[in-house]
Amino acid sequence: MDQIKTGKFILALRKEKNLTQLQLADILGISDKTISKWERGAGLPDVSLMVPLCEALEISRHVHTHHCPMSLHAYIQLAVPEAEQLDVGRRAF
């Protein structure tokens, strides 16, 4: 999984939900520094956080391709080109 793409995707979705890093961290029961680490591409969410992360960012974990559930990794790979088009650099935190 590409850490930079994943981080950009998480950042874009978090901002779309008007959540701060601290708010998302509180929802997930982790520190805001961990969210920052993901968004900077310096790390990836632990597998145990995938379902809560999907729920918090309203990513369907049941996106189907050929009747097989798509993983968050696969969803990110499909969605990132669209997320990269967002001008997240100009949005206020």
Beta-carbon-side half-sphere exposure of residue 56 (alpha carbons within 13 Å): 23
Pairing of strands 68-69, 64-65: antiparallel
Does residue 36 belong to any structural domain of this protein? yes
Over residues 9-38, the pLDDT tens digits come to: 899 999 999 999 999 999 999 999 999 999
* pLDDT tens string 44-77: 998 889 889 988 988 874 443 333 345 566 666 6
Q: What is d(CA 39, CA 8) in angstroms, rounded to the nearest whole number?
A: 6
CA distances from 49 to 24, 82, 84, 89, 90 (A): 12, 23, 23, 26, 28
The pair of three-digit structure tokens given for residue 46, joined into one six-digit string: 């632990």
Structural domain including 77 reads 3-86
The answer to the question of residue 67 being in a domain is: yes
Q: What is the CATH number of the domain that holds 53?
A: 1.10.260.40
